[in-house]
Every structure is written in C-alpha cells, then in structure tokens.
Amino acid sequence: LEPLDIGAIREEFPILEREFDGQQVVYLDNAATTQTPDPVVDAMSDYYRRYNSNVHRGIHHLSQEASIAYEEAHDRVAEFIGAEGREEVIFTKNTTEAENLVAYSWGLAELEPGDRVVLTEMEHHASLVTWQQIAHQTGADVEYIRVDERGRLDMDHARELIDDDAAVVSAVHVSNTLGTVNPVAELTALADEHDALSVIDGAQAVPNRPVDVGEIDADFYAFSGHKMAGPTGIGVLYGKQELLEEMDPYLYGGGMIRKVTFDDSTWGELPWKFEPGTPPIAEAVGLAAAVDWLEEIGMERIQAHEEELARYAYEQLDAEGDVEIYGPEPGPDRGGLVSFNVEGVHAHDLASIMNDHTVAVRAGDHCTQPLHDKLGVPASTRASFYVYNTREEIDKLVAALDDARQLFA
C-alpha cells in the first residue's frame, strides 16, 4: 500500500497549525473526535450559503435541492458500508442514539423475563448502559463476555453465553479503550445460530478501516460522523431492512408518518420512519463529503497508517519500563489507539502535563467504567491516531513523560 502523503493531508486541517504557548498542537485524541478537513467544512458552508432549506420535498427549488442532498447522503453512506440501500441507513444524532433506537424500538417490544442480553466487558456506556437499563425494564438478564488479560474477548465464554436463551448480542467492533479489534463476524454468526439479534458498535471501526456490513452480517451496526472526519450531530444506524420494516418507531413527529388522524397514525417508509422532525441536513451533507474524502485516501491505507502508529506508540511506551499498556500486542488485533498508565502518575495529572506540552490526549474512563474497574485502575491515558498524525507527534508525547515523572512519580 502506498503510504499516506501526511503533508498534503495536514494542509486540509488548519486547526493542526494552531499553537498554544508557542508550541504547535499535537492532536492525539481522535477516538474522542476527529478533526474536520476543509472539503467537509466547505460542503456544509456551501449548503448553508446556497441551498439551505427544510427537507421532505417542499414545493420549491431550494427544498428540492436540500431534500435530494439529504436523501442522497443516505445512499452515499449505504454504499460506503455495503448496505443494500438508503432504506437500511437511518441518520441519528450519534452512535449513542443509534444504540438507543435499537434498544427502545426492538428491545422494549421483544425482550422478556428470562431472555439474555449478551454484552462484553469492554462495551462503551452507549451500549452497556442502554441495554442494561432496557434489560431492567423488561426483566431480561445481562451477561458480559469476559475480556482476558491481553484485552481480547474470551470466545469460549462467548460461545457459552450465546445459546438459545440469548436474545441480543451487542458488542463493540473496536474498543475505544483497549484498541482491541473484536471478531464481530464470528459473534454475529453465533447470535444468528441462536436466533439472537446482533448489534455492533462501529464507532471506532468505520472511521478507521474498511467495514462491510454484508460481510459482518450484523442485524444492526452503529457509528458517528464526528469520528470519521465528519461533523458532530449526525450518526448512523445501519439495520437489516426486514427488521426495520417490522419495528415501530420510538420517536414520533412530522416526517415519519404516512397518515395521522385524531385516533391514530400510520408510519412512513424507510428510512424516514425513524427520522422524526427536521433532521441534521447540513451534517448529512458534511457526512457525505467526509465519506468522499476518506474514500479518496482509501480505508485500507488509513487502517495501515493507524496500525503503524499504534505499533510505534506501543513500542516507544513499552520501552520506558514504567508504563502499563492495556490491550493486545500491536498488529491486526489492535486499532489505532493506545491506553496506558505511568507508574505513580494519575492519568489526569499525566494529561495535564501533556497539555503543558500541547499534546492532546484523553484521560479518564473513556465511558468504559466497568472495564476500568476490572483493570483495577480509576482511569487511563489514551493516545488515539488518525490520518494526519505522525511518528514525530508520538515522540513528543513520550518526551513529555519525564516531566510527569519528575513532578508526580
């Protein structure tokens, strides 16, 4: 694979030129949100400047243009992830709302006492808390597939839990804390064998690697625009059409109905049935532009670049001798991030020192508190990479560790 032209890529991100206290920002917090390239910003500005209008096919030129752009953004995303068509692509606010849509529209209607909701110990709160609460409301049980000491899923335990009592299997594709790349196709096949619904959280996968929902064969797959060089305020729930047709919406309003009377209402066609009210129109334009921008580079090249940076960061941090790194060895089982702790230094103190060096990392529980309890640490520091990051930026992160040791260790 041809290596990325980082220089040319970085020119599309003016934010990366910013300086604080005379030091150029080193942005290593991409698992939280990625930066937005000029073509995406320009596409959204162009929408607001030239064809802003409400959608749902108003009878005037501007609404027609906006409606077509909004509808076609669904087609673009469908093509990007290998969905059958726009009917299988629902725009939400973010991954969290996508997970909630499945839990409320399908879970509340289908789960019964004695059903098992199978999660993993590394789930993000977006799926963990959501399914946990829906299970409480329906009397279903929740079980968690164990994570082993190397941060990988215990697949023997998965096979034990995903039996005929399993009603849902909800798992993260790439862990935002460990970096672990989970065998999602295997998990969805197990779920399918036992007629359990499969829901995959792809927030850290779609932005960083090729994803084909047909190959994974999950019933639902969720991700966010802001983690893939797109805008905040838009996420995607992919769902198999036959399932979405059967499900009732859980958010009601205009745009999602077919017929409304004082007595009752009927629902519109897919995907609009699950998109009530005025949708994120500019964000959909931005998301489609982000998909174009990513595909221009190539998802395989992005994956290779991030794996190379994760390997480099892992090796540099491991060589320090007092750094505990969580998750698998570098390689195909690890995505483009490294979470770690420095002996004797609290993660929040470390991030603060990093910030003195204008290195932006994330410190905390990364919305995976149960996982941190299992790791036996209150927090971790996470460096996460994207298309515009370089080895030199990782060197700056490592160089700042000494300051932290002198101050806190």
Ligand X SMILES: Cc1ncc(COP(=O)(O)O)c(CN[C@@H]2CONC2=O)c1O
Q: Which of 37, 230 has the CB closer to ligand X? A: 230
Residues 203-222 touching ligand X, rule: CB under 6 A, are 203-204
Q: Which of 51, 362 has the CB closer to ligand X? A: 362
Question: What is the DSSP pairing of strand 359-360 with strand 26-27?
Answer: parallel
Q: How far is the CB of 33 from ligand X (least distance, A)?
A: 7
Q: What character string, x for contact with ligand X (CB under 6 A) and - otherwise, covers 5-44?
A: --------------------------xx------------
| Token pair listed for 114 | 């004695």
Residues 247-306 touching ligand X, rule: CB under 6 A, are none
257 is catalytic: no
Q: Which of 237, 353 has the CB closer to ligand X? A: 237
Q: Which of 73, 361 has the CB closer to ligand X? A: 361
Our finding on whether 94 is near ligand X (CB under 6 A) is yes
The piece of 14-22, 70-78, 197-205, 393-401 that touches ligand X (CB under 6 A) is 197-205
Residues 116-155 touching ligand X, rule: CB under 6 A, are 124, 126
Q: What single-letter amino acid sits at 260?
A: V
The piece of 20-28, 89-97, 187-195, 314-322 that touches ligand X (CB under 6 A) is 89-97
| Token pair listed for 340 | 């770690």
The piece of 184-192, 199-207, 260-268, 343-351 that touches ligand X (CB under 6 A) is 199-207
Instruction: Figure out which of the listed residues 35, 96, 105, 182 binds ligand X, where binding follows CB under 6 A.
Output: 96
Q: How far is the CB of 234 from ligand X (least distance, A)?
A: 9
Q: How far is the CB of 231 from ligand X (least distance, A)?
A: 11
The residues that bridge with 380 in the sheet, in sequence order, are 364
The piece of 10-18, 67-75, 91-99, 304-312 that touches ligand X (CB under 6 A) is 91-99
List the catalytic residue out of 189, 367, 377, 398: 367
Q: How far is the CB of 61 from ligand X (least distance, A)?
A: 34
Q: How far is the CB of 11 from ligand X (least distance, A)?
A: 26
Q: How far is the CB of 177 from ligand X (least distance, A)?
A: 7
| Token pair listed for 206 | 């779609």
Residues 53-82 touching ligand X, rule: CB under 6 A, are none
Our finding on whether 224 is near ligand X (CB under 6 A) is yes
3-state secondary structure the chain: CCCCCHHHHHCCCHHHHCEECCEECEECECCCCCCCCHHHHHHHHHHHHHCCCCCCCCCCHHHHHHHHHHHHHHHHHHHHHCCCCHHHEEEECCHHHHHHHHHHHHHHHHCCCCCEEEEECCCCHHHHHHHHHHHHHHCCEEEEECECCCCCECHHHHHHHCCCCEEEEEEECECCCCCEECCHHHHHHHHHHCCCEEEEECCCCCCCCCCCHHHHCCCEEEEEHHHCCCCCCCEEEEECHHHHHHCCCCCCCCCCEEEECCCCEEECCCCHHHCCCCCCHHHHHHHHHHHHHHHHHCHHHHHHHHHHHHHHHHHHHHCCCCEEEECCCCCCCECCEEEEEECCECHHHHHHHHHHCCEECEEECCCCHHHHHHHCCCCEEEEECCCCCCHHHHHHHHHCHHHHHHHHC
Instruction: Figure out which of the listed residues 366, 380, 389, 397 binds ligand X, where binding follows CB under 6 A.
Output: 366
Q: What character string, x for contact with ligand X (CB under 6 A) and - otherwise, covers 340-359?
A: --------------------
Let me know: does 388 contact 9? Beta carbons within 8 Å: yes
Residues near ligand X (CB under 6 A) are 31-32, 94-96, 124, 126, 172, 176, 201, 203-204, 224, 235, 362, 366-367
Q: Which residues are known to be catalytic?
A: 367
